[in-house]
Amino acid sequence: MKAFIRKILFGDVAISEYSKITVPGDIQEKVYLETDGNIVDISPTHWLLCIEPVIFGVWIENDKSIFGFTKKEKYKIYFNRSANDIKNVKKKSVAILTLIFFDFIKEKNGILLLLKVHKSKIYHLNFIKTYLLFSRYYKKNGLTFSKFKTFVAAYSYPRQISIVSFRRNDYYNIFPMDLLGNIEKCGRCVFGLRHTNLSLAGIIETGRLAVSEVPFYYKDLIYQLGKHHSSTPPPLSSLSFQLIKSKNFEFYIPDWAENYKEIKILKTLNLGSHVLLWGEAKEKNIINKQGNHLFLIHFLHYLRQKKNGIAYPLV
């Protein structure tokens, strides 16, 4: 009976927490930041950086900023399913986050604004279906409905998975991340690493890491590397792929990576469950031809896309 009801409500789609997808062209979703009555497109310049509390980083360029900011100001982030007239942002959003000021990092070209989620609203499914899904599949490990809605909202925009590398003496680590961002124009990168990551102390002490973009069809290898966040990496000889060394740091990079950047850490900031690393990127080093990348979106977002016939390909 449960299977029958599930099929009626959600069809034959296999229910998961997050959907692994690739984006063949450009990302279709748009994300907007509102404060003090002004709205600006932050689609390519906003990143999830911490889970507890949930904190976003938003890069605002000096020449594009149409508002100031204060510690008392409330902010809203709107997640839209596709490009819309900016006047219709509020009406056509699939998720809305209300946020408060947390901190900021100032650069000569702009600021990285750090905002903490205060509350969330989601509109992917009607409330009954949403709560049924939450109660049956997601209500675990103390996850509240409020925090569930926040994660659904955060992953209503595809989050790209990249590979981070670190090495010091005989120790090395290679692991995937999606809590990171890149500001190509001013050569800055931002990362949110858990305190439990075994490489964190070494990265902070040496002020170095490397980040690689990787094709989606190495998904299985990418997720195998995910075990390295909080456990000792295996001997190099046991890896099922070859490695190259980065140009200056001599960090290990998978030979199937498309490219890598070596990062000098300029600033760290404790966000809660994660530590923010703010870094300067050196030149991009190309290894292989560029392909489509691996992304994560929340299952509810994928379900809505599929219903509307605009779903990204699952991988």
CATH for 162-292, options being 1.10.10.10, 1.10.30.50, 1.10.20.60, 2.30.110.10: 2.30.110.10
* pLDDT tens sequence across 214-233: 999 999 999 989 877 667 88
Question: Is residue 61 a contact partner of residue 46, using CB atoms and an 8 Å limit?
Answer: no
CA distance 124 to 95: 8
CATH class of 28-126+137-157: mainly beta
Which pair of structure tokens corresponds to residue 82?
A: 């596709």
pLDDT value of position 181: 97
* pLDDT tens sequence across 238-287: 899 999 999 999 999 999 999 999 999 999 999 999 999 999 998 899 99
Query: In the chain, which segments carry CATH 2.30.110.10?
Result: 28-126+137-157, 162-292
CA distance 138 to 121: 17
